[in-house]
Copies of this chain bind each other. A is one copy, B any other.
Amino acid sequence: MTEDDGSMKFAPADAAPRRATAMDVARAAGVSRSAVSRAFSQTAYLDTDKRDHIRRIAAEMGYRPNALAAGLNRTRSNLVGIVAGDVGNLYDAQLLSRLVSGLTAAGKWPVVLDGSVGADRLVATDIFAYPLDAMIVRGGSVDPVMVDTCAKLHIPLVFLGCVVDAPAVDSIVCRNAEGMARIADLLLNRGRRRFAFLGGPAQWASQQQRLQGLCDALAQAGLQLIATESADFSHQGGAKVARRLLQDHDLDALVCANDAMAIGALGVARHDLGLNVPADLSITGFDDVDMASWPCFDLTTACNPVEETVAGVIELLEARLATPSAPSRRIQIDAHLVRRGTH
């Protein structure tokens, strides 16, 4: 009865209107608040007529149980943080998109964070104020501050693209070295001998593994790289560095650390330098983004399968949530060769 006084004050419709609560519905339906709560729970007893009545009134008022309030006495919030990679990068954009779909299908809500700001700033910022069920990090290198923070808050971490050795931290990586070895073998069998590598930023673990895989395969054939240069994984960066590489060295194989740079290199080689790809020069990428299959590029590359990766992330996530103290796991994904027209 004292509640009535509170709800009668001035009918504040012009101020910010508030979301209907279970109490509001209970008053409108002439039942207790508990009954409203039970009307939205499958397990609780409630008379069918009463349940229908409550649900109809709730629908009219636009009531839905507030997940944040309910989450207080539940152990899961169903919120999962994603630190996105470089979304200007086509592969990362594709990955993010599929990851969002996969998490939604798994009943989790992805809160996406800008990965381009420093990870330390991300920690300083208040995303960890939210009780995330887990954190998925896409990136080339690992930030120890984030690992520590998540450990203290008991937030499971899944790393996507690099391996982290810490308790309750899982990771999923592509078999970069093996994939690159397949590319190297393909080019060696075709008779290529004068190789250069167009790599990405050195702090990316995948970049180093791809370089290593290439070097090892060449060493087995008694060869070594003529030149190695780094760009920023972007199309423009790849084009710029590829021009320098192709002008300074006499190459017959330019192996790139990802598709975007390979496509940039392809443009420079064909249009600016007038080289004949693949007759005089092989150019290869890595990842197999959508664009690699476009007829104007038709890029030979190694497929870093997005769907399989996302499925692996979801699997790691669910296993970790089911058994928080389980030992860390690492999933490795095979990168298979995609033979097209640039080798």
Shortest CB-to-CB span from A307 to chain B, Å, is 13
Shortest CB-to-CB span from A123 to chain B, Å, is 10
Interface bracket on A: 35 or more
B149 x A62 contact (CB < 8 A): yes
Q: A68-B72, A96-B87, A295-B272 are in contact. Are A101 and B130 (CB under 8 A)?
A: no
Q: Does A144 contact B (CB under 8 A)?
A: no
Which residue of B16, B129, B264, B266 is within 8 Å of A66 (Cβ)? B129
Residues of B within 8 A of A276 (CB): none
B295 x A131 contact (CB < 8 A): no
Binary interface encoding of chain A residues 94-110 relative to chain B, with 1 for a CB under 8 A from any of its CBs, else 0 = 10110011001000011
A69 to B97, CA, bound (A): 30
Counted per complex, copies of this chain come to: 2
Q: Does A113 contact B (CB under 8 A)?
A: yes
B93 x A116 contact (CB < 8 A): no
B290 x A271 contact (CB < 8 A): no
B72 x A100 contact (CB < 8 A): no
Shortest CB-to-CB span from A191 to chain B, Å, is 27
Which residue of B88, B127, B268 is within 8 Å of A97 (Cβ)? B88
Q: Which residues of A contact B (CB under 8 A)?
A: 14, 16-19, 61-62, 64-72, 75, 77, 79, 84, 87-88, 90, 93-94, 96-97, 100-101, 104, 109-114, 116-117, 125-131, 149, 151-154, 235-236, 239, 264, 266-268, 270-272, 290-291, 294-296, 324-325
